[in-house]
Amino acid sequence: MAKYVASTTLKDLEWENSHLIEGDVPEAVAKLKQQPGQDLVMYGCHGLMHILLEHDLIDEYRLWVYPVVLGKGRSFFKDGVERMALDLVDTTVIPPGVAILTYQSQR
């Protein structure tokens, strides 16, 4: 599976079938989305998520809700994010009670 890494510090990637995205990340991701093939998946990169969100490049969110209340911590969305209309398209529950909620953008 191809891996795309957006980085301002890495110069060489050691992972097999890895490609470095440098420069204009939203433009590079938009071009990747135009190519035929599998979906693009991003895991746990809060800063990159907000860059892609600002450029309307996210089609689907998969939120993993854990049965733990922290009380404080980093918010999923930063202040100033516009309201989005999302459709719940799938739910899955895995042990020990983690809910995976899949939402798609209504745009």
**In this predicted model, what pLDDT tens digit does every residue of 52-66 receive, in sequence order?**
999 999 999 999 999
Q: In this predicted model, which residue has the larger pLDDT, 82 or 25? A: 25
**In this predicted model, what pLDDT tens digit does every residue of 34-50 receive, in sequence order?**
999 888 998 878 889 99
C-beta atoms surrounding 20 within 10 Å: 14
The distance in angstroms from the start CA to the end CA of the chain is 29
User: CA 102 to CA 89: how far, in whole Å?
Assistant: 6
Asked if 8 and 51 sit in the same domain, the reply is yes
Asked if 34 and 85 sit in the same domain, the reply is no
Parent domain of 81: 59-107
Asked if 12 and 38 sit in the same domain, the reply is yes
Mean pLDDT value across residues 83-96: 94
Asked if 66 and 53 sit in the same domain, the reply is no
Asked if 32 and 48 sit in the same domain, the reply is yes
> Is the pLDDT score of 98 beyond 90?
yes
> Is the pLDDT score of 83 beyond 90?
no
Q: Tell me, yes or no, if the pTM score tops 0.85.
A: no
Q: Are strands 60-65 and 18-21 parallel, antiparallel or unpaired?
A: unpaired
